[in-house]
Structure 1
């Protein structure tokens, strides 16, 4: 089972090594992992701010993170025009790495 501290440590390492490749300027976790309510089969919700904003870059980042972490991830590129509900969840839960 994954735990929050382990995921944060892995994401710090990942960001240090891969941020330039994908243009990641900011990265954090939110959702069940950030709240510490992880269940068997939970995915990891990751919010990123990107300097390279395009769909192929985000898909590449998602695939790279899943390979690195060994679990499914949802990657959300933070932007001002996100849905208010999603934006609120991110702001409430986010732990930046």
Structure 2
């Protein structure tokens, strides 16, 4: 019975946290985990989409551009970065690299993005 009650409390707390996740809090969390991100070769992270525009909802994913250090962009570093960010934020994170952005959307996304150096 107590395990169930604890689970309900944690679930409730998590959903409240998700409602109040802001771009400022996202960047604060990123700054707190610079060491882990550097381990995966991350050079800088850009936030774009609903969180930048202030249109995010409780269930919104986080749209991120990741730039890797020269020679460090590989499948393992990319996936480890995805897993780390999803764990930190407790929600889906859509990660793009500058090279992977659709050429028709690139200028719009790059203008909207707010960056944090790692």
Aligning the two structures, in what range does the TM-score lie when normalised by the shorter sequence? 0.7 to 0.9
**1:90 aligned onto 2:105:** no
Structure 1: give runs of 5+ residues left out of the alignment.
none
**1:18 aligned onto 2:36:** yes
Instruction: Report the counterpart of residue 60 of structure 1 in structure 2.
Output: 80
Tell me how many residue pairs correspond in the alignment.
95
Higher Cα radius of gyration: 2
Instruction: Report the counterpart of residue 96 of structure 2 in structure 1.
Output: 76
Runs of 4+ in structure 1 deviating by more than 4 angstroms, as ranges, are none
TM-score by length of 1: 0.85
Instruction: After TM superposition, give the deviation of residue 50 of structure 1 in Å.
Output: 0.6
Please give the root-mean-square deviation of Cα atoms over the aligned residues, in Å.
1.6
Contact 1:47 1:76 in 2 (8 A): yes
What is the SS of the residue equivalent to 2:104?
Answer: helix
Instruction: After TM superposition, give the deviation of residue 90 of structure 1 in Å.
Output: 2.1
Once the two structures are superposed, residues 34-54 of structure 1 have per-residue CA deviations (whole angstroms, 9 ceiling, x without a partner) of 111111210001111112111
TM-score by length of 2: 0.72
Q: 1:34 aligns with which of 30, 33, 52?
A: 52
Instruction: After TM superposition, give the deviation of residue 71 of structure 1 in Å.
Output: 1.5
